[in-house]
Structure 1
Amino acid sequence: MMRVAVALLLATSLFTAPLALTPAAAQQAAAAQSPSARLSSLFAASDADSLKRNPLNALFRGDTSRADQLGELITDAAWMAEKRAAEAELKALAGIDRAALTPDEQVSYDTFKWQRETDLAGYAPALLAATLPRPIDHFFGFHNFLAELQSGESVAPFKTLKDYEDALKRSDQFALLIDLAILRFRQGMVSGVVQPKLVVRNVVDQLNNLTAGGTDASIMMKPVQKFPEGFSAADQVRLKAAYTKMIGERVNPALLRLRDFLNNEYLPVARDSVGLAAMPGGPELYRYLVASTTTTDLTPDAIHNIGLSEVARILKGIDEVQAKVGFKGDRKAFFDYLRSDPRFKFASAQAMGDAFRATGTRIDKVVGNLFATLPKGGLEIRPVPPHREKTDAAGSYQNGTPDGSRPGVFYYNAYDLPSRSTTGVETLFLHEAVPGHHFQISLAQENEKLPAFQRFGGNTAFVEGWALYAESLGPELGMFTDPYQLMGRYNDEMLRAMRLVVDTGLHSKGWGRDQSIDYMLANSSMSRTDATIEVERYIAIPSQALAYKMGQLTIRRLRTKAEAALGPKFNIKGFHAQVLMTGALPLAVLEAKIDRWIAAGGPA
Structure 2
Amino acid sequence: MIARATTMSLFLSTALLGGCATTQIAPPAVVTAEAPAPVAVAGAHERLFQLFKDSDEASLKLNPLNGIFRGDLRYADQFGDGITDAYYDASRAAAVSDLQALRAIDRASLNATDQLAYDVFEYSTTDTIEGYRPALLRLSTPRPLNHFFGLQTFYPTFANGKGAAPFATVVDYDNNLKRHAGYVQWIDRAIGRFREGEASGVVETKLTIRNVIEQLDNQLAQKVEDSAYYGPVKQFPASFSAADKARLTGEYRTAITDQLYPATKRLRDYLKTEYLPRARDGAGLMYMRGGDQLYRYLVRSTTTLDMSPDEIHNLGLSEVTRITTEMEKVKTEVGFKGSLAKFFDHLRADPKLKPKSREALTQGYYDIGKAVDAKLPDYFSTIPKAKLDIRPYDPTIEKFQAGGSYEQGTPDAKRPGTFYFNAYDLPSRTTPGMTTLYLHEGAPGHHFQISLAQENEALPPFMRFGGNTAYVEGWALYSETLGYDMGFYKDPYQRFGTLSDEMLRAMRLVVDTGIHSKGWTREKAIAYMLANSDMGKTDATAEVERYIAIPSQALAYKIGALTIQRLRKKSMDELGDKFDIKQFHAQVLMTGALPLAILEKKIDAWIAEKKGS
User: What TM-score bracket applies, with the shorter chain setting the length?
Assistant: over 0.9
Counterpart AA for 2:212: V
Task: Give the Cα–Cα distance (whole angstroms) in 2 for the partners of residues 506 and 91 of structure 1.
Answer: 38
After TM superposition, the structure 1 stretch with the greater mean CA deviation from structure 2, 205-214 or 373-382, is 205-214
Aligned to 2:161: 152
1:478 deviation in Å?
Answer: 2.3
Aligned to 2:258: 249
Q: How does 1:350-499 map to 2 (within 5 A)?
A: 350-499=359-508
- 1:61 equivalent to 2:70? Answer yes
Aligned to 2:188: 179
Aligned to 1:27: none
Q: How does 1:528-567 map to 2 (within 5 A)?
A: 528-567=537-576
Query: Residues 571 and 602 of structure 1 are in contact (CA less than 8 Å); yes or no, is this contact kept in structure 2?
Result: no
Aligned to 2:81: 72
Aligned to 1:339: 348
Task: Give the Cα–Cα distance (whole angstroms) in 1 for the partners of residues 611 and 485 of structure 2.
Answer: 20
1:303 to 290, 308, 312: 312
1:385 deviation in Å?
Answer: 1.2
- 1:230 equivalent to 2:239? Answer yes
1:214 deviation in Å?
Answer: 3.3
Counterpart AA for 2:236: F
Aligned to 1:4: none
- 1:89 equivalent to 2:105? Answer no
Aligned to 1:26: none
Q: How does 1:259-338 map to 2 (within 5 A)?
A: 259-338=268-347
2:532 to 520, 523, 528: 523
Q: How does 1:563-582 map to 2 (within 5 A)?
A: 563-582=572-591
Deviations 1:76-99 (A, max 9, x none): 111111100110000001111111
1:235 deviation in Å?
Answer: 1.0
Query: Residues 444 and 456 of structure 1 are in contact (CA less than 8 Å); yes or no, is this contact kept in structure 2?
Result: yes
Task: Give the Cα–Cα distance (whole angstroms) in 2 for the partners of residues 309 and 108 of structure 1.
Answer: 35
2:123 is paired with a residue of what secondary structure?
helix
1:202 to 211, 233, 237: 211
Task: Give the Cα–Cα distance (whole angstroms) in 1 for the partners of residues 195 and 232 of structure 2.
Answer: 34
1:217 deviation in Å?
Answer: 2.1
Query: Residues 199 and 540 of structure 1 are in contact (CA less than 8 Å); yes or no, is this contact kept in structure 2?
Result: yes
Counterpart AA for 1:561: K
Task: Give the Cα–Cα distance (whole angstroms) in 1 for the partners of residues 612 and 166 of structure 2.
Answer: 42
Deviations 1:494-517 (A, max 9, x none): 000000000000000000100000
Query: Residues 392 and 533 of structure 1 are in contact (CA less than 8 Å); yes or no, is this contact kept in structure 2?
Result: yes
Counterpart AA for 1:367: L
Task: Give the Cα–Cα distance (whole angstroms) in 2 for the partners of residues 602 and 330 of structure 1.
Answer: 49
Counterpart AA for 1:311: V
Task: Give the Cα–Cα distance (whole angstroms) in 2 for the partners of residues 33 and 152 of structure 1.
Answer: 48
1:603 deviation in Å?
Answer: 9.3
1:226 deviation in Å?
Answer: 2.5
2:396 is paired with a residue of what secondary structure?
helix
Residues 140 and 33 of structure 1, relative CA distance in 2, 3 Å threshold: farther
Residues 355 and 398 of structure 1, relative CA distance in 2, 3 Å threshold: same
Q: How does 1:122-133 map to 2 (within 5 A)?
A: 122-133=131-142
Counterpart AA for 1:572: I
- 1:597 equivalent to 2:606? Answer yes
Task: Give the Cα–Cα distance (whole angstroms) in 1 for the partners of residues 332 and 576 of structure 2.
Answer: 34
Aligned to 2:148: 139
Task: Give the Cα–Cα distance (whole angstroms) in 1 for the partners of residues 274 and 54 of structure 2.
Answer: 44
Task: Give the Cα–Cα distance (whole angstroms) in 1 for the partners of residues 396 and 308 of structure 2.
Answer: 37
Task: Give the Cα–Cα distance (whole angstroms) in 2 for the partners of residues 36 and 297 of structure 1.
Answer: 31
Task: Give the Cα–Cα distance (whole angstroms) in 2 for the partners of residues 537 and 54 of structure 1.
Answer: 25
Task: Give the Cα–Cα distance (whole angstroms) in 1 for the partners of residues 256 and 73 of structure 2.
Answer: 22
Task: Give the Cα–Cα distance (whole angstroms) in 1 for the partners of residues 557 and 586 of structure 2.
Answer: 20
Counterpart AA for 1:209: N
1:51 is paired with a residue of what secondary structure?
helix
Residues 98 and 537 of structure 1, relative CA distance in 2, 3 Å threshold: same
1:232 deviation in Å?
Answer: 1.1
Task: Give the Cα–Cα distance (whole angstroms) in 2 for the partners of residues 281 and 348 of structure 1.
Answer: 47
Query: Residues 214 and 248 of structure 1 are in contact (CA less than 8 Å); yes or no, is this contact kept in structure 2?
Result: no
Task: Give the Cα–Cα distance (whole angstroms) in 2 for the partners of residues 46 and 585 of structure 1.
Answer: 18
Task: Give the Cα–Cα distance (whole angstroms) in 1 for the partners of residues 548 and 359 of structure 2.
Answer: 31
1:34 deviation in Å?
Answer: 1.9
After TM superposition, the structure 1 stretch with the greater mean CA deviation from structure 2, 211-220 or 523-532, is 211-220
Show structure 2 runs of 5+ residues with no match: 1-40
Task: Give the Cα–Cα distance (whole angstroms) in 2 for the partners of residues 487 and 527 of structure 1.
Answer: 15
Query: Residues 151 and 220 of structure 1 are in contact (CA less than 8 Å); yes or no, is this contact kept in structure 2?
Result: yes
Task: Give the Cα–Cα distance (whole angstroms) in 1 for the partners of residues 612 and 470 of structure 2.
Answer: 26
Task: Give the Cα–Cα distance (whole angstroms) in 2 for the partners of residues 226 and 403 of structure 1.
Answer: 23
Task: Give the Cα–Cα distance (whole angstroms) in 2 for the partners of residues 225 and 118 of structure 1.
Answer: 43
Task: Give the Cα–Cα distance (whole angstroms) in 2 for the partners of residues 387 and 77 of structure 1.
Answer: 34
1:545 deviation in Å?
Answer: 0.2
1:410 is paired with a residue of what secondary structure?
strand
2:406 is paired with a residue of what secondary structure?
strand
1:150 deviation in Å?
Answer: 1.1
After TM superposition, the structure 1 stretch with the greater mean CA deviation from structure 2, 233-242 or 534-543, is 233-242
1:216 deviation in Å?
Answer: 2.2
2:128 to 116, 119, 122: 119
Q: CA RMSD in A?
A: 1.2
Aligned to 1:48: 57
Query: Residues 407 and 417 of structure 2 are in contact (CA less than 8 Å); yes or no, is this contact kept in structure 1?
Result: yes
1:381 is paired with a residue of what secondary structure?
strand
Task: Give the Cα–Cα distance (whole angstroms) in 2 for the partners of residues 298 and 126 of structure 1.
Answer: 21
1:213 deviation in Å?
Answer: 2.4
1:225 deviation in Å?
Answer: 2.0
1:365 is paired with a residue of what secondary structure?
helix
1:33 deviation in Å?
Answer: 6.3
2:591 is paired with a residue of what secondary structure?
coil
Query: Residues 375 and 442 of structure 1 are in contact (CA less than 8 Å); yes or no, is this contact kept in structure 2?
Result: yes
Which 4+ residue blocks in structure 1 deviate beyond 4 angstroms?
none
Aligned to 1:22: none
Query: Residues 62 and 82 of structure 2 are in contact (CA less than 8 Å); yes or no, is this contact kept in structure 1?
Result: no
1:406 is paired with a residue of what secondary structure?
coil
1:602 deviation in Å?
Answer: 6.2
Query: Residues 570 and 602 of structure 1 are in contact (CA less than 8 Å); yes or no, is this contact kept in structure 2?
Result: no
Query: Residues 363 and 434 of structure 1 are in contact (CA less than 8 Å); yes or no, is this contact kept in structure 2?
Result: yes
Task: Give the Cα–Cα distance (whole angstroms) in 2 for the partners of residues 173 and 49 of structure 1.
Answer: 19
1:147 deviation in Å?
Answer: 1.6
Q: How does 1:18-57 map to 2 (within 5 A)?
A: 34-57=43-66
